[in-house]
A = this chain, B = another copy of it.
Amino acid sequence: MNRARLADRLDDIETDGYLLDAAQDDANQLYLSGFTGPDPFLTLYVDGSVHLLVSGLEYGRATEEAAADTVERHAEYDYEYGGREERYDMYAAFVRDKGVESVSMPPRAPVGTADAMRDRGIDVAVDGDDALAEVRAVKTADEIDAIREAQRANEAAMRAAESLLADADVAGAGDEPEAGTLLYEGEPLTSERVAEEIEVTLLRHGCALDETIVAGGTQAADPHNRGSGPLRADEAIIVDIFPRSKATKYNGDMTRTFCVGEPSDRLREWYDLTERAFEAALDAIEPGATGADVHAAACEVYEDAGEPTFRTDPDTETGFIHSTGHGIGLDVHELPRLASGGGELEPGHVVTVEPGLYDPAVGGVRIEDLVVVTEDGYENLTEYPISFGV
């Protein structure tokens, strides 16, 4: 954590303190508290100090683990398994005990807690800028190393997926299953089977993940479709993996699109175009450029080739129908945005670059690497070849 940056940013806040009520699955909470509590707990930032309030069950681990100046437990406020209102009374007492009469909370903080503090005379402002998210966007060297390490695990998983595809046979005419279906050890090779191999590989490399995308054919034309059922030859197969290191909690992210057999001319053209859009976006990344500039660079490649984007047609359902990339860290999606309206890039920003084309009549193609913005450009944190054929 960049303490100086945090203090700079949070000391700008006009309230006395900055209050979080969340568990470790909230990236702001994990970042500010440094504690992996599984149930919601309070973190209060006041004048450069971080104060935690946790349950007795979590107290021992919190005192060892948290990056906090003080850790208190519920018993210190004479609260034990009481009702909701008693819990809020404790929260208010904790806040006042730190000399705080007004707090800011992030936009996604719980309204129940915010309103309860207001009912108890503590001013609550919503920090619409989500200051902690802005602080988190700029990574320290340690954070970049953590992301790099998650990306190494990601590459191992991508290799495992590509190997399954490379080793697959193709069912012939008149065969069961249907001709063109990929076969692995005699069985149809499914999205689920490839995803399982990815997930097991990631576990063996210290990463967990909720989901992964292995989507072929028309499924690949929906950027958020996770994919299911048998994969087929001559179609584009999108493999998008975003693992989280269990040790550091930082994420990696990478997408490759593969084809077993012979892609159509149109698919081949899409792949080459997407690779050019990808390169154009990378070339645009440097401090001072905006996320909007990088997105524009990718869009222009597609638009010049006559493919629709949201810039040329806000209602389009085919073409380049998402942003060029997003920040990544403790969250898979965080600041900055490489999109229309995306702000200025700074050294230490870690972003995905992932242009793609989608149309149910053709399929889907996406190429994604992860890079860190440096003083004079960017460093690519991804070391995996870009190739359509397997």
> Which residues of A does B touch, CB under 8 Å?
25, 38-40, 56-58, 60-61, 75, 80-84, 105-115, 124, 126, 128, 196, 199-200, 203-204, 208-211, 222-225, 246, 310, 314-315, 317, 321-323, 333, 339-341
* A106 CB contact (under 8 Å) in B112, B322, B323, B340: B112
- A40, B209: Cα distance in complex, Å: 19
Is the CB–CB distance between B111 and A124 below 8 Å? yes
- A323, B57: Cα distance in complex, Å: 10
Q: Given A111-B111, A112-B126, A209-B208, answer yes or no on A222-B61 (Cβ-Cβ < 8 Å).
A: yes
Chain B residues with CB under 8 Å of A199's CB are 203, 208
A250 to chain B, nearest CB (A): 15
Is the CB–CB distance between A333 and B109 below 8 Å? no
Is the CB–CB distance between B38 and A83 below 8 Å? no
Is the CB–CB distance between A323 and B81 below 8 Å? yes
Is the CB–CB distance between B61 and A224 below 8 Å? yes
Is the CB–CB distance between B81 and A341 below 8 Å? yes
- Complex A-B: 11 CB contacts under 8 Å: A25-B25, A60-B222, A60-B317, A107-B112, A108-B110, A111-B114, A196-B203, A200-B200, A200-B203, A208-B208, A211-B246
Chain B residues with CB under 8 Å of A211's CB are 38, 208, 246
- A211, B23: Cα distance in complex, Å: 14
Is the CB–CB distance between B224 and A58 below 8 Å? yes
Q: Which residue of chain B has the shortest Cβ distance to A360 in the bound complex? A: B60
Is the CB–CB distance between A57 and B224 below 8 Å? yes
Chain B residues with CB under 8 Å of A314's CB are 75, 80
Chain B residues with CB under 8 Å of A107's CB are 84, 110-113
A201 to chain B, nearest CB (A): 10
A327 to chain B, nearest CB (A): 14
Chain B residues with CB under 8 Å of A225's CB are 61
Is the CB–CB distance between A111 and B128 below 8 Å? no
Q: Which residue of chain B has the shortest Cβ distance to A316 in the bound complex? A: B56
Q: Given A80-B310, A114-B111, A224-B38, answer yes or no on A204-B210 (Cβ-Cβ < 8 Å).
A: no
Chain B residues with CB under 8 Å of A310's CB are 80-81
- A110, B112: Cα distance in complex, Å: 9
Is the CB–CB distance between A84 and B128 below 8 Å? yes
Chain B residues with CB under 8 Å of A128's CB are 84, 112
Is the CB–CB distance between B341 and A83 below 8 Å? yes
Given contacts A58-B224, A80-B310, A107-B110, 7 further A-B contacts (CB under 8 A): A61-B224, A84-B128, A105-B111, A107-B111, A109-B110, A110-B110, A199-B203
